Structure 1
Amino acid sequence: MRALFWRDIRLAVRSGGGFGLGLAFFLIVVVLIPFGVGPQTSVLRVIAPGVLWVGALLACLLSLDRLFALDYEDGSLDLMATSPLPLEGVVAVKAMAHWVTTGVPLTLVAPVLAVLLNMTPEAFVWLVATLAIGTPALSVIGTFGAALTVGLKRGGLLLSILVLPMYVPTLIFGAETLRRGASGMEVQTPLLLLAAITLASLAILPFASAAAIRINLR
């Protein structure tokens, strides 16, 4: 498991699909928004929670098609499916590696980009907290989508269509928690719901992903 984790980390770093592409896309989204809506600081402060969460969500989506595609093409996925390691554990490790190479960098760089949207420093703690709690769910849900489309030619578009609707609850509660935290309002309810989505995804989706991979490999 440990070797598989570090293998995926090295592949993501070398290809740039984890660190480089996701961070570059996140930066582009946040930089372009002020050009589109105007420089009014009051407007930027209002839309900042939604913009940051949508940018992080789409950045996580970019590298999902690589999760199983390369392993499927070179036969590694067949070996993993027939190895003594449980396939559910393999899926969980791959989701963790995706989160470490995508979700963690996005969480760390988000406060810096939030300055461009005139977000108050008091809201930075909620920004980091919501992304730290919510991005694992994005990686696990994305892993499930990648498992459903493994082996399909040009499955990237289908993957996006499948995954984006499943991302909506995480987006809603993550952005709402950040909005309330930035406004000094009570955040307990949306924050607990965001954490519940993440925990439910971690508990259920690795088994569903493993089952989808077994079906696609038949």
Structure 2
Amino acid sequence: MRALLKRDLILAFRAGGGFGLGIAFFLIVVVLVPFSVGPESGLLTKIAPGVLWLGALLACLLSLDRILALDWEDGTLDLMATAPLPLEAVVTVKALAHWMTTGVPLVVAAPLFGVLLNLPPQGFVWLVVSLALGTPALSVIGTFGAALTVGLKRGGLLLSLLILPLYVPTLIFGAELARRGAEGQAVSTPLLMLAGISFGVIALLPFASALVLRVNLR
């Protein structure tokens, strides 16, 4: 599993799907928002948690189609299906590699971008907590979508259409957790809901992804 994780990390950076692309897109979203809604600091403070979470979510979408596409094209996925390592472990490792190359850089960069949107100081910690807790779910759900669309021509657009509705609960509770933290309100409810979504997705979706892959590889 370590060798597979190392391989996927190297391929992610070589294929241009590493942290640079996601961070650049995230920055573009954050920079464009003040131009569209105006430079009023009060308004930016109010919408900052939602904008930052939406930017992170969209940045995660950019590299989802690469999770399994490269392995499908060169036949590596067929070899993985017959290897001693279960497919459930394979898709888990691939989701972890996606999170490490996309989710972790977004978590690190979010407080810096929060400054551009006038996020209150007390909101930085909860923004990082919400993204650290929610981005693993985005990667696991994205891996499930990649398994559904692997091998399809122009599957990237279909992947986005399939995955975006599944991202909505994570977006709602992640943005709500960041908003309540920024406003000094109680955060227990969105925190527990976001944690439940993430842990539930991590526990169940690798099995669904492996099942879909077995069907597609027949």
TM over 0.5: yes
Aligned residue in 2 for 1:161? 161
Matches within 5 A, 1:63-212: 63-212=63-212
Q: 1 CA distance for matches of 2:128 and 2:167?
A: 18
What is the Cα deviation at residue 145 of structure 1? Answer: 0.3
Question: Mind listing any 5+ residue stretches in structure 2 that lack a counterpart?
Answer: none
- Partner AA of 1:216 in structure 2: N
**Deviation string, structure 1 residues 104-138 (Cα, Å, up to 9, x no partner):** 00000000000000001211000100000000000
Aligned residue in 1 for 2:47? 47
- How many residue pairs were aligned? 218
- Partner AA of 2:195 in structure 1: A
What is the Cα deviation at residue 12 of structure 1? Answer: 1.2
What is the Cα deviation at residue 20 of structure 1? Answer: 1.3
Give the superposed CA RMSD.
0.6
Q: 1 CA distance for matches of 2:209 and 2:56?
A: 23
What is the Cα deviation at residue 11 of structure 1? Answer: 1.1
Question: Mind listing any 5+ residue stretches in structure 1 that lack a counterpart?
Answer: none
What is the Cα deviation at residue 63 of structure 1? Answer: 0.1
How much identity, in percent, do the aligned residues show?
A: 73
Q: 1 CA distance for matches of 2:161 and 2:15?
A: 24
**Deviation string, structure 1 residues 191-212 (Cα, Å, up to 9, x no partner):** 1000000000000000000000
**For 1:121, what is the secondary structure of its paired residue?**
coil
Aligned residue in 2 for 1:213? 213
**For 1:54, what is the secondary structure of its paired residue?**
helix
Q: 1 CA distance for matches of 2:11 and 2:70?
A: 10
- Partner AA of 1:155 in structure 2: G
**Deviation string, structure 1 residues 62-82 (Cα, Å, up to 9, x no partner):** 000001111001000000001
Normalised TM-score (structure 2) = 0.99
- Partner AA of 1:8 in structure 2: D
- Partner AA of 2:88 in structure 1: E
Aligned residue in 2 for 1:61? 61
